Amino acid sequence: MASVLVVEDDQFVRSALIRHLSGAGHTVRSVGTALEALREVAQVGSDVVILDLGLPDLDGSEALKMLRGLSDVPVIVATARDDEAEIVRLLNAGADDYLVKPFSPEHLSARLAAVLRRARSGGGAAPDPLLRVGGLEIDTRRRLAALDGTALDLTRREFDLLAFLAARPGAVVSRRELLAEVWQQSYGDDQTIDVHLSWLRRKLGETAARPRYLHTLRGVGVKLEPPGAPR
C-alpha cells in the first residue's frame, strides 16, 4: 500500500481515482492545480504522484519538470495526448510511466504497482555496493555515480540503468531483459529504452555514433565496457 497524490482538476475523474485507489488500500491525497501539487510534495511528500497534464494554472509537463527539481518521487503522467513525440518528451522530462486517457482502474493498478516495485527495489540495481568500469565509479548503496572523478547528475532511472549494465561489464543485455529488470515490465516500447540510453550517453560525454562506454548491438542488445576494451 502506498501514499498517492492525485493531481487532477476534473472533479469527476478525480473522484473516480480517489475511490478506486482508496478501495485498493492506498492513502490518497488530491489537489487540482500544479502549484498545490508542488507544495504537497515539498511539505508532505508522497510515494507516487499521478499527474494530469491539463491543469488550469500550469501545463502538466512544466509541472513535471518542477517536481523533478524538488523530488525523485515516482510520477505517472495521465494524459489524453497519445502521440509518440509527446510521450517521449514526457519520459525525457522525468516521468516514470504514463497512462493515456481513458484508462481502466485495472490498468492504473498494474502500472502503479510496477512503478512502486521499481522505486522500492531500486529498479534492479546491482547488490554489489561499489562498481568500477574504467573511469566510472558507481556506489549503489548511496546511489552516487562519477566519471573520471566528476559526479554525474543522473535521474533515478538513468542511475538504475547504468548500475544494471555496470554490474555486467562487457555482457550484452537484451532490451527485453532491460525492460524486465530495470523497468520491471514484461512489455514496453523500445523507444523508452532508447530515450534513456540517449540521455545517459550525453551525460557520459559520448554519442551512439561515437560510443565510449555504452555500445548498442543492433537487433541484439546493449553492453557497457571500458574504453579500449577488446572487441
Domain count, the chain: 2
Say if strands 144-147 and 150-151 run parallel, antiparallel, or are unpaired. Answer: antiparallel
Show the low-confidence residues of the chain (pLDDT under 70).
120-128, 186-190, 229-231
**Is the same domain home to 114 and 23?**
yes
- Cβ neighbours, 10 Å, residue 108: 19
- Among 121, 146, 168, residue at a domain's last position: 121
**Is the same domain home to 111 and 11?**
yes
CA distance 181 to 175: 10
The CA-based angle 95-100-106, given to 5 degrees, is 100
**CB of 139 within 8 A of CB of 130?**
yes
Q: What is the CATH number of the domain that holds 86?
A: 3.40.50.2300
**CB of 144 within 8 A of CB of 151?**
yes
**Is the same domain home to 113 and 130?**
no
Residues 6+ apart with CB under 8 A from 210: none
**Is the same domain home to 73 and 136?**
no
The structure's pTM equals: 0.57
Convert the pLDDT of each residue in 60-74 to its tens digit.
Answer: 788 888 888 788 888
- In which domain, by residue range, is 83 found? 3-121
- Among 106, 121, 136, residue at a domain's last position: 121
Q: What is the CATH number of the domain that holds 215?
A: 1.10.10.10
Cell of 196: 534513456
* Residue 203 forms part of a structural domain: yes
Cell of 184: 520491471
Convert the pLDDT of each residue in 126-159 to its tens digit.
Answer: 445 789 999 999 998 888 999 999 999 998 888 9
Say if strands 130-133 and 150-151 run parallel, antiparallel, or are unpaired. Answer: unpaired
- Among 86, 121, 156, residue at a domain's last position: 121
pLDDT at 147: 95
* Residue 230 forms part of a structural domain: no
Cell of 29: 491525497
